[in-house]
Amino acid sequence: MENQKNNPLLCDPETGICEMPLQHGAEAAGIAYTGNKPLKLIYFTDPICSSCWGIEPQLRKLKLTYEHLMQVEYHMGGLLPDWSYNSGGISKPSDVAHHWDEVSMHYQMPIDGDVWLEDPLDSSYPPSIAFKAAQLQDDQKAINMVRIMREMVFLKKMNIAKPEVMLQAATQAGLDTDRWQADYHHAGKQAFEDDLALARSMKVRGFPSIFITDASGRTEFVYGTKPYQTYVDAIKKLMPQADAQAYHHNWQSLFARYNTLTTREFAELSEVTMSEAEQTLNSLLSEKQIEVYHSKNGLLWILPPAFER
C-alpha cells in the first residue's frame, strides 16, 4: 500500500491526494504575496489529477463565496512526465483504468477510466503547457480551458495530450488560437517550467495543494481534496472577520456562472442533497432548459449556448 501512495496516478481517495514520488513535505515559506485583495489562494494542480477533479465542487463554491476577498492563482505541477517508471502496480496506462472508476464513485464525480484503455495519454505535460499558454493570454479563459480539458479526459475519454484536442479546447475557451499555438511552443513551455520550479521551491509533493496566504506572509496549507468547510476554516484562521459573500442558489444563476455542472457540483452550490439535485436537474432537462452529457460513471449538465447570458 505504501508503494501505491508513491505513484502519482494512484490517487488516494481517503486522503484526497495524488502524490508525486521522490518529493518532500510541503512548506509555506517563501510565498511572494501580490494582489489587491486581502488573501490569495495558490493552487497547484494537473489536468489529469483525479483528486483535483474531485475538488471542483468545493473550489467553485469558494470562488462564489470568497472571491471578493481572495484571488485564485493556478499553477501546474507535472503529475505524469512519462511512463518511465513502475510503482504501486502501475507500469502502463491500462493499469489506471479501474482505479479511475473507483475514484469516480468516491468523489461522486463522473470519471470514465476507459480512456486509459482506448486512447491513453503519454504525459500530462502537453495539456499543462496548453494551460500555461492560455494563461499568458487570459487568466479566466485559461481556467475555462483546463475545465474543458478535464471534461474531455474524465467524461469523454479524449486524449488531451493530442495537439488537435488541445486546439479544440482552446477554441471552445474563446482563445486567440493563433497566439495560443505560438505560445504553446515557446512562452508556454517556459511558463510551465517556471511552475515546476515554483512547486519544487515550495516543496509541493502532490495535488491538489492549496496555499492560502495574506499580505503579511502568514499561510495556511490544505493538502488534498477536503470538505468545503476545511477551506473556509483556513481562510478564517488568516482573516477571522472574513464573511462569505451571499450568492443566488437558483439554477439560472448557477448555470449563468458555470455553464456546465456535474450533479455533485450542483448539489454543493445549491446546498441540497444529491437526490434533490438530481430531481431538480431532471426536471430542467424535461423542460428543455438544460442538456445532459452521459458518461459511464455520471452526468454532466449543460446550459445550451443559446441560453447563456
**What pLDDT was estimated at residue 16?**
75
Query: What Å distances lie between residue 174 and 145, 148, 171, 187, CA to CA?
Result: 9, 11, 5, 19
Confidence label for 306 from pLDDT (cuts 50, 70 and 90): low
Give 308: exposed, middle or buried? Use CB within 10 Å, 0-12, 13-18, 19+.
exposed
- C-alpha cell of 131? 494551460
Predicted local distance difference test score (pLDDT) of residue 3:
39
Classify residue 228 by its DSSP letter.
H
- The cell numbers describing 141, all together, are 479563459
Question: Residue 246 gets which letter from DSSP?
Answer: P
What are the residue boundaries of the structural domains of the chain, listed by start? 2-206, 251-307
pLDDT tens figures, 246-283: 999 999 999 999 999 999 999 999 999 999 999 999 99
**What pLDDT was estimated at residue 156?**
98
Residues 6 or more apart in contact with residue 168 via CB below 8 angstroms = 152
pLDDT, position 269: 98
pLDDT of residue 122: 94
Least reliable range by pLDDT among 4-13, 22-31, 117-126, 254-263: 22-31
CB 294 within 8 A of CB 252: no
Q: What is the pLDDT of residue 265?
A: 98
Q: What is the pLDDT of residues 172-199, one digit of tens each?
A: 999 999 999 999 999 999 999 999 999 9
The pTM (predicted TM-score) of the whole model is: 0.91
Chain mean position to CA 187: 22
CA–CA distance, 290 with 258 (Å, rounded to integer): 12
Q: How far apart are CA 63 and CA 68, in angstroms?
A: 9
What tens digit of pLDDT does each residue of 219-246 get? 999 999 999 999 999 999 999 999 999 9
User: Does the pLDDT value for residue 15 go beyond 90?
Assistant: no
Same fold, 2-206 and 251-307: no
* CATH H superfamily, domain 2-206: Glutaredoxin (3.40.30.10)
Architecture of domain 251-307 in CATH? Orthogonal Bundle (1.10)
Contact 59, 230 (CB under 8 A): no
Q: What percent of the chain has pLDDT over 90?
A: 82
Strands (E), the chain: 18-19, 39-45, 70-76, 206-207, 209-214, 219-223, 260-262, 291-295, 298-302
